[in-house]
Amino acid sequence: MPAGKGRYTVGAKGTHGCNGYPVVGGEGKVHGCHATEAEAQAQQAAIYASEAANAEKSDMCSDCGDPMCKVCRDEMTKADGSYSPPAGARAAARKAIKFKEDGKASGAGTAVGWTRAGQLARGESLSLSTVKRMYSYFSRHEVDKKGKDWANQANPSNGYIMWLAWGGDAGYSWSRGIVQREMDKTLFSDFGKDYTKSTRII
């Protein structure tokens, strides 16, 4: 972006308390002071490039369903402790429902599985116990990926359809991350506790 444009500008030499050329943010903060205007412009360009990269990373993180990512964590964890499924899991569930509507899911899954698909497709908040059941399902059925017609869009296997119904790969990654985080919280819940002050049981 050219100097003097946007939220970061290259100021005139000797302004903003800088003996050289300052790079000034929209809030008036000086982000750098350079001997030449070219150097100041280079910093300006670097700032914009860094912000663009961070924005792209945040967008990716919002959809990845990784609970270790702050963006995902803020979006998926509600005040009541429930979890909002990521976009990828919602899309997978909708795809499974479409297969069913098209008559391609004969004999696939159970009532529980289709209930879960409906919850995910509608973007309903899920309890921790439900997220744990999702992870349990994926852990047991990952072997289904080796079966015939996995991901065959014309004639999908029942295993593939139900994998989608439970949230697909995005649901698996998301539920696994939450379960792992809960395990870590339990593991380190007593970290740093002073057991020398505990009441001794005889």
Res. 168 pLDDT band, cuts 50 70 90: very high
- For residues 81 and 89, which has the higher predicted lDDT (pLDDT)? 89
The last residue of one of the domains, among 45, 64, 83, is 64
Count up the domains in the chain and report the number.
2
- For residues 183 and 62, which has the higher predicted lDDT (pLDDT)? 183
Q: Stretch 25-51: mean pLDDT, rounded?
A: 79
Q: Stretch 196-201: mean pLDDT, rounded?
A: 48
Q: Are residues 92 and 171 in the same domain?
A: yes
Contact 47, 23 (CB under 8 A): yes
Contact 41, 20 (CB under 8 A): no
Residue 67 tokens read as 């609970």
**Domain-located, residue 110:** yes
Q: What is the pLDDT of residues 112-145, one digit of tens each?
A: 999 999 999 999 999 999 999 999 999 999 999 9
Q: Are residues 41 and 137 in the same domain?
A: no
- Domain limits for position 55: 9-64
Q: Stretch 94-119: mean pLDDT, rounded?
A: 94
User: Would the pLDDT of 65 be above 80?
Assistant: no
Q: Are residues 51 and 86 in the same domain?
A: no
Average pLDDT taken over every residue of the chain? 79
CA-CA distance, 133 to 165, in Å (whole number)? 13
Res. 39 pLDDT band, cuts 50 70 90: confident
Q: Stretch 3-21: mean pLDDT, rounded?
A: 77
Res. 27 pLDDT band, cuts 50 70 90: confident
What is the predicted pLDDT for the residue at 50?
64
User: Would the pLDDT of 69 be above 80?
Assistant: no
Check the CA dihedral 163-169-172-178 and report its sign: negative
**Nearest residue to 11 (alpha-carbon basis) of 50, 26, 46:** 26
Residue 178 tokens read as 């939450």
Q: Are residues 45 and 138 in the same domain?
A: no
Q: Stretch 140-157: mean pLDDT, rounded?
A: 92
| Backbone φ/ψ region at 4: left (φ over 0), alpha (ψ -120 to 50), beta | left
CA-CA distance, 180 to 64, in Å (whole number)? 16
Contact 128, 185 (CB under 8 A): no
Q: Are residues 58 and 115 in the same domain?
A: no
**Domain-located, residue 202:** no
What is the predicted pLDDT for the residue at 91?
95
Q: Are residues 124 and 96 in the same domain?
A: yes
Res. 34 pLDDT band, cuts 50 70 90: confident
Q: Are residues 58 and 87 in the same domain?
A: no
What is the predicted pLDDT for the residue at 184?
77
